[in-house]
């Protein structure tokens, strides 16, 4: 092992690198949430072969920590029309939720994506896919055209704001890169990091 093998520089953060989180926030901020009836929770758990005392991640069988959207809310930077309701939610562990992201659940489960059930060697993937297919049939999900519930003006204004924010983030990133280059150059011109001199200090 060389010294350079054990040292790793952290990846620098970019303001423009947060654009997919911003897009996700714009979509999820307008997606309606429908609280389930107790009967629906019971039905959902029956189909998933779980009970309040026997809960697990549907994808991998690990311990569940959240309910994950089976069909993603965002695709191609737009709302898919699927909403937050129990028929579109399944108990999931954080690892699976993170790894699945906005991917199609079935393709993801058997894909080589990092931390996918296949990658993690989950044994009963076929059984889990069959269960989830049954769940989807029960849910009978139809995507909604969210724009149809508001005026065109309200809808368009919202997405104009989204574009403006992304533009501002891109411009700000350019500004940041220029500031960083200047600062870095001054730092590098000395052998050690220079402490900026306090303003007004003699
Ligand atoms: Zn899982």
| Pairwise CA distance, residues 141 & 147, whole Å | 18
* Pair type for strands 33-34 and 84-85: parallel
How far apart CA 71 and CA 141 sit, in angstroms, is: 9
Q: What is the pLDDT of residues 131-188, one digit of tens each?
A: 999 999 999 999 999 999 999 999 999 999 999 999 999 999 999 999 999 999 999 8
Q: How far is the CA of 52 from the centre of ligand 1 (A)?
A: 17
The Cα–Cα gap between 62 and 98 comes to 14
Q: What was the pLDDT predicted at 202?
A: 38
Q: Which residues pair with 33 in a beta bridge?
A: 84
Residue 92, CA distances (Å) to 70, 96, 160 in order: 10, 7, 34
How confident is the model at residue 188, as a pLDDT? Answer: 87
Measure 59 CA to ligand 1 centroid, in angstroms: 5
Residue 1's pLDDT band (cuts 50, 70, 90):
confident
To the question of pTM greater than 0.75 for the whole model, the response is yes
Please give the distance, rounded to the nearest whole angstrom, from the Cα atom of residue 37 to the centre of ligand 1.
Answer: 25
């Amino acid at each position: 092992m060389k010294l350079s093998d054990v040292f790793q520089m952290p990846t620098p953060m970019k303001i423009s690198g947060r654009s997919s989180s911003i897009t996700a926030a714009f979509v999820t901020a307008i997606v309606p949430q429908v609280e389930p009836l107790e009967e629906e929770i019971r039905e959902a758990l029956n189909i998933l072969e779980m009970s309040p005392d026997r809960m697990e991640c549907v994808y991998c069988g690990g311990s569940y920590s959240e309910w994950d959207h089976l069909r993603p809310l965002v695709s191609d930077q737009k709302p898919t029309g699927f909403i937050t309701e129990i028929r579109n939610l399944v108990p999931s562990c954080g690892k699976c939720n993170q790894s699945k992201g906005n991917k199609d659940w079935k393709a993801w489960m058997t894909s080589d994506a990092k931390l996918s059930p296949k990658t993690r060697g989950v044994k009963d993937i076929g059984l889990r896919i069959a269960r989830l297919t049954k769940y989807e049939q029960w849910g009978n999900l139809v995507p909604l055209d969210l724009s149809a519930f508001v005026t065109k003006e309200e809808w368009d204004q919202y997405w104009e704001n989204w574009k403006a924010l992304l533009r501002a983030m891109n411009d700000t990133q350019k500004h940041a890169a220029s500031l960083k280059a200047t600062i870095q150059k001054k730092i590098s011109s000395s052998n050690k990091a220079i402490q900026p001199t306090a303003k007004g200090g003699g």
